A and B are shown apart, each in its own frame.
Chain A
Amino acid sequence: MSSRAPTERRAASPLTAIVRYTVRACVPSQRWLLLLPVAGAVLFGLLSRLSDETAVTAFVRVGGTALHTLVLPITCLVIGDALLGAEIRSGVFAFTWLSPVRYRTIVIGRWLGGCLIAAAVLVPAAAGAAVAAGAPSSAAPAAVAAVAGAAAYLALFLAIGASFKRPVVWSLALVILVERLLGAALDGIAQLSPGWLAQSVLVGLTSPAADLQREGIPSGWAAVGRLAVVAAVGLAVATRRLRSLRPASSAD
């Protein structure tokens, strides 16, 4: 058996390096924390069993709603802050910023890394919730909805991280005030809201009771497409904002 000496390592492309770094740097050292979203989602899945509706409809109504209004945004908020905002605040982002890598590559690398972490957490969470709800056929649609929603959320949180000094506050304001309060009343907001769109993906792909489909916003794969657009806009804004960023030092 032979082991590779440290000097035999092949150089990675900047994008690969950033993705790898993001995954390494953003995952908490206390790995058990990653199980919290899974535990929460499974709990909500179990709560779905209390409903008299069919298993799929009950899961979408209870488990799915909880997944997309609580587990998904909170998980993404934590990951999204670690992707950029926390590094900018601490001064660590200078290691990445002070390189000839284009801003676009930095943003996409961070986002892809964040998506990998989010997928590693949310796919088991969504699938576990579906199984716990007695609707295993909904596991795949729930996973698709969670990952697509996470991709859009993370792009928006990256844009917020590159734009504001207190990104967690602004991200919470986006989720609670804009998405939950305004989005509940206004279809125009819901059409661009990762939370509402993710729920609509789940509804469209599982075909539960008709009353679960919110009118005025796309559902199923169309909602996935809309989430992709939201993500693209978020990434474009983040890239643009990175140009004028003043990475802090801890002395600031």
Chain B
Amino acid sequence: MSEGEDGTDPAFVADSTVVVENASVWFGQKVALSELSCSFGPGVTGLLGPNGAGKSTLMRAITGLIGVNAGEVRVDGRDPRTDRDVQGRIALVPEDEAVPAQLTPRELVRYVADLHGVRDPGAAERALDLVDMLPAADRRLRGFSKGMRQRSKVAAALVTDPPVLVLDEPLNGADPVQRVRLTDLFRSLGAEGRTVIVSSHVLSEVERLADRVLVLIHGRLAAAGNHRAIRDAMDDRPRHVLIRADEPRRLGAALLRLGTVAGVSLTDAGLVVTTERAGALAVAVAPVARELGVRLREVRPLDDSLESLFQELVR
């Protein structure tokens, strides 16, 4: 792991509320986390990783849902697995869709509020309003879409006003409008000084959500820092960009003459351009197409999926 700009390890923060030290978790023969060390503090931290990277396991260990087999996890200096009082300071929005189907969102939020001893009678309504669930608050969760279930779970987490909020793929299933709304909400919670840990396997999603990012691969920490630093770390690696245009052969030949393009290939999906300077290519491609009179239909980086990013990081 590279050091941060100020010489500190980017996996750790100075004012940490959650500390993970050499944590290992395994399920039978499968190692889910391997000697992972990092910390989380106020603000939004993104946990990135492909499916099976160990993000959910780390989040469940942080909330105490599972214990670590080796190492330790501390929240405010206490063990979340054994100290029940820690649960009053932490909330989890689990990834899975499981919800008490018989309940309505209002009943679920009130239930969680009662368990946490929330005395403010308006807390449940405010939490539901924050995620725009008041109009559907009295319908049963059974009939809800994935996005509405997620929002109901977010409301249940927010009703306790937790200093530490752990969100496992919270935008899954949300429509574009709700994504923006939830993203703004999580960012504002982080700006209030809460420790917000949010996982995703979509790079662009995490870029919008979090300034600080931890990348997990195979249960290990592969990279840490802000998302720009992680992208910068890949700048000298070849990137692939898909270009769909009316005359891909002519466009490909013209692009090859640019110094920024290392190679082109024509595929069924379109023209795939390999470059080590994706930014320069992005600037150049439109003028070249205009000059040729070629109509561009789509320009899309193929490496933006985290899987390809991770493949680069672990190569």
Q: Which residues of A contact B (CB under 8 A)?
A: 6-14, 16-18, 20-21, 24-25, 27, 29, 87, 90-92, 94-103, 246-247, 249-252
Known: A92-B99, A95-B156, A249-B95. A11 touches B65 (CB 8 A): no
B90 touches A98 (CB 8 A): yes
Residue B9, interface by CB 8 Å:
no
26 A-B residue pairs with Cβ-Cβ distance under 8 Å, sorted by A, are A7-B122, A9-B124, A11-B113, A11-B121, A17-B111, A20-B111, A21-B111, A25-B102, A29-B142, A91-B96, A91-B98, A94-B65, A95-B100, A95-B111, A96-B115, A98-B65, A98-B90, A99-B88, A100-B86, A100-B115, A100-B116, A101-B84, A103-B84, A246-B66, A247-B65, A249-B65
Minimum distance in angstroms from A83 CB to a CB of chain B: 13
A17 touches B122 (CB 8 A): no
A6→B125 CA distance, assembly (Å): 8
A11→B124 CA distance, assembly (Å): 11
A20→B112 CA distance, assembly (Å): 12
B98 touches A90 (CB 8 A): yes
Task: Determine the chain B residues whose CB is within 8 A of the CB of A249 once the complex forms.
Answer: 56, 60, 65, 94-96, 98
- Contact of B92 (CB < 8 Å), options: A11, A25, A94: A94
Minimum distance in angstroms from A47 CB to a CB of chain B: 35
Q: Name the interface residues of B105-142: CB closer than 8 Å to any CB of A.
A: 106-108, 110-119, 121-122, 124-125, 142
Known: A25-B102, A29-B142, A246-B65. A98 touches B92 (CB 8 A): yes
Q: Which residues of B contact A (CB under 8 A)?
A: 27, 56, 60, 63-67, 84-88, 90-92, 94-100, 102-103, 106-108, 110-119, 121-122, 124-125, 142, 156
B95 touches A8 (CB 8 A): no
A24 touches B98 (CB 8 A): no
- Contact of A251 (CB < 8 Å), options: B64, B96, B103, B115: B96
A99 touches B98 (CB 8 A): no
Task: Determine the chain B residues whose CB is within 8 A of the CB of A102 once the complex forms.
Answer: 84
Closest A residue to B63 using CB positions? A98
- Contact of B87 (CB < 8 Å), options: A8, A13, A29, A100: A100
Minimum distance in angstroms from A182 CB to a CB of chain B: 33
Closest A residue to B100 using CB positions? A25
- Contact of B116 (CB < 8 Å), options: A24, A25, A99, A247: A99
A214→B27 CA distance, assembly (Å): 48
Minimum distance in angstroms from A252 CB to a CB of chain B: 8
Further 7 A-B residue pairs, CB within 8 A, beyond A9-B110, A98-B90: A11-B118, A18-B115, A94-B92, A97-B65, A100-B87, A251-B56, A251-B96
Minimum distance in angstroms from A15 CB to a CB of chain B: 10
A100→B115 CA distance, assembly (Å): 7
Minimum distance in angstroms from A3 CB to a CB of chain B: 13
